[in-house]
Structure 1
Amino acid sequence: MFRALLSLALASFALLASAARYPSYGTLQTINSSGVLNVMINNTYSSVNLFDLHIQSDLANLIETLQANDTDIRVAVFSSANKDSFLAHININYFLPGYGASLTFNFLMACDMRFASTSPSVILSQLETSLGTNPGAAGAMYLSHLIGRGRTFEYVLSSYDVDTVTAERIGWINTAFATSSELHTYVQGLAARIALFPAAGIAGMKQEINAVNRPPREVSCRIRRT
């Protein structure tokens, strides 16, 4: 079951809502090796890996497949095929009439762990307030458990960009690495180690941790338009 997996994001931003079903994962390149599913995001419809309906649909299909099948996958690691952009913010058109705000999904905040490089090009942000809306799918709720209530207000209400050194210091990400090589080596090693252990133990521990630091689904999926 996918809920038993740990999800790790490389270099910035992980997971999502419902969408139309596609026959394949056109924007996702997947490799399953010894219990670790590496998922490389490659939105060829966008030069900046824009989070659009293509990515959303493919992620929905991937998650549905993992939920429906009894696989040996223990950990999902998300990375990017785009060297300049891990994942750009959601298509602003989603906020226009005719689109649902429920399409907004905070990819990074849905991950269980987050790792990044200290490259100046890696920036984190919750910019929804500047657009007159709020982070959908519990982005701000998750963030408040990571960096605290006061800091969440500071960064969400200001829509400030945050560098990864600062993000590591305040707990937004687990670790910021000096080089991409160090980043990938550590995350792959961590994923491989976790994948050695029984799925039941991983699932049980994840459920216990989530019980105290994640909002109920009926709350996290409630979207308020302004």
Structure 2
Amino acid sequence: MYPFHKNLVLFALSGLLSLINGNPVHQHDTRRLPWERTKSTGFGTLTTTSSNNGTILRVLMDNPPTNLYDYKLITDLYDLLSFVVPENLTVSAPPPKVMIFASADPDFWMGHYDGALFGTNPPFNESYTEELFTKNRAIVGMLKSLPTILIAEINGRATGSGNEFLVQCDMAFSGPNTILGAPEVAVGGVHGNGGIQHLVRLIGMQRTAEYMLTSSGIDALTAAEIGWVNRMYRSETKLRGAVDEIAGRIALFPAAGLNGTKAMIREFSAPPSTVEADIATIFRLEAGEKAPDAEYLRISKNQSRHFELGVPDNMVEIWD
């Protein structure tokens, strides 16, 4: 038999056996779903991979140099999540049952918000900052209400806004490079977006006070032991495999039961009024004599990667 014909027969047989066993020939979908993203979408900070017939969406964050929560990432996250809100859904494109947030940068999962958002550098100005915070409010609301189970797959630093985001996902799993924490208090700021209130629900009031008030980082193993994340895995490969397995199991079940259960669990999350109060406090502090973000830009040498690799534990150095 000629090699070409032999390969063709083998391919046909493998497809037939796959159909007999009830499994698709390919894991990844060929059709384009409305929420799929590539480097050419928006600011290009998000790329997505759809699997399990569109029931699982893996979101890869890549916003060099440190995955800052800046105007690019905020806008791209807002646009992505907006496609999954109930009023934008159609029967032909039901929402993914599970959405996984991972990072392309092994050192940074998601960083704090960009200090330049408060008018320090052009092209930012007060009205533009308020517009971005409006989108940020919407992101926080969508994390709570989306008809999709959200999983944070963390293997790198998740500080400031990164931590605020992960504690509002439905689950969080960490790899060995994970560092969590918040640098804001060290420069006279606050951890916002309801992050503190969610963290209190996860690890308790006194532990939250310890890590927030000392601007201390927490490693992956300790975070898992006290409930900051669900579990820690010893390698990036094991982390990815475990998250994929959990997502695959969830995706087997009817969406109605998944999202009804999520809604009941979310009754215990921080209300929208908490987020509004947090943002009001942030704006009040930024308008003070010594704005926290201006101070942070100064000591971090404009948020350099070298400095960010030490956050939040190196924040104490500015007071030595």
Task: Please name the residue that 1:204 is paired with.
Answer: 260
Mapping for residues 179-190 of structure 1, pairs under 5 Å: 179-190=235-246
Task: Please name the residue that 2:206 is paired with.
Answer: 150
- Is residue 25–residue 62 contact of structure 1 (8 Å, CA) maintained in 2? no
5+ residue gaps, structure 1: 1-21
User: Using a 3 Å threshold, how does the CA distance of structure 1 residues 198 and 221 change in structure 2: closer, same or farther?
Assistant: farther
Structure 1 length-normalised TM: 0.81
> Which residue identity lines up with residue 176 of structure 2 in the other structure?
T
5+ residue gaps, structure 2: 1-39, 121-125, 137-159, 286-320
Task: Please name the residue that 1:75 is paired with.
Answer: 98
**In structure 1, what is the Cα distance between the partners aligned to 2:244 and 2:220?**
19
Q: Secondary structure at the match of 2:194?
A: helix
**In structure 2, what is the Cα distance between the partners aligned to 1:118 and 1:96?**
36
Task: Please name the residue that 2:215 is paired with.
Answer: 159
Q: Which moved more, 1:140-149 or 1:65-74?
A: 65-74
Q: Secondary structure at the match of 1:110?
A: coil
> Which residue identity lines up with residue 214 of structure 1 in the other structure?
S
Matched, 1:219 2:274: yes
> What's the CA shift string for 1:181-212, capped at 9, x where partnerless?
1100000110111011111101110111111x
Q: Secondary structure at the match of 2:109?
A: coil
**In structure 2, what is the Cα distance between the partners aligned to 1:163 and 1:217?**
30
Matched, 1:61 2:116: no
Q: Secondary structure at the match of 2:84?
A: helix
**In structure 2, what is the Cα distance between the partners aligned to 1:109 and 1:177?**
18
- Is residue 37–residue 73 contact of structure 1 (8 Å, CA) maintained in 2? yes
> Which residue identity lines up with residue 219 of structure 1 in the other structure?
T
**In structure 2, what is the Cα distance between the partners aligned to 1:166 and 1:83?**
19
Post-superposition offset of 1:117: 1.0
Q: Secondary structure at the match of 1:189?
A: helix
Q: Which moved more, 1:91-100 or 1:123-132?
A: 91-100
Bigger share in helix: 2
Structure 2 length-normalised TM: 0.58
- Is residue 25–residue 61 contact of structure 1 (8 Å, CA) maintained in 2? no
Greater RCO (CA < 8 Å, at least 6 residues apart): 1
State which structure, 1 or 2, has the greater radius of gyration over its C-alpha atoms. 2
Q: Secondary structure at the match of 1:66?
A: coil
**In structure 2, what is the Cα distance between the partners aligned to 1:123 and 1:96?**
29
Q: Percent identity?
A: 34
Task: Please name the residue that 2:62 is paired with.
Answer: 42
> Which residue identity lines up with residue 117 of structure 1 in the other structure?
G
- Is residue 115–residue 173 contact of structure 1 (8 Å, CA) maintained in 2? yes
Post-superposition offset of 1:25: 5.8
Task: Please name the residue that 1:15 is paired with.
Answer: none
Task: Please name the residue that 2:49 is paired with.
Answer: 31
Q: Secondary structure at the match of 2:112?
A: coil
**In structure 1, what is the Cα distance between the partners aligned to 2:69 and 2:97?**
25
- Is residue 115–residue 183 contact of structure 1 (8 Å, CA) maintained in 2? yes
**In structure 2, what is the Cα distance between the partners aligned to 1:130 and 1:195?**
42
Q: Secondary structure at the match of 1:197?
A: coil
- Is residue 84–residue 95 contact of structure 2 (8 Å, CA) maintained in 1? no
Post-superposition offset of 1:81: 1.2
Aligned with 1:107 (options 162, 165, 174) = 165
Post-superposition offset of 1:133: 1.9
Matched, 1:87 2:110: yes
Post-superposition offset of 1:94: 2.8
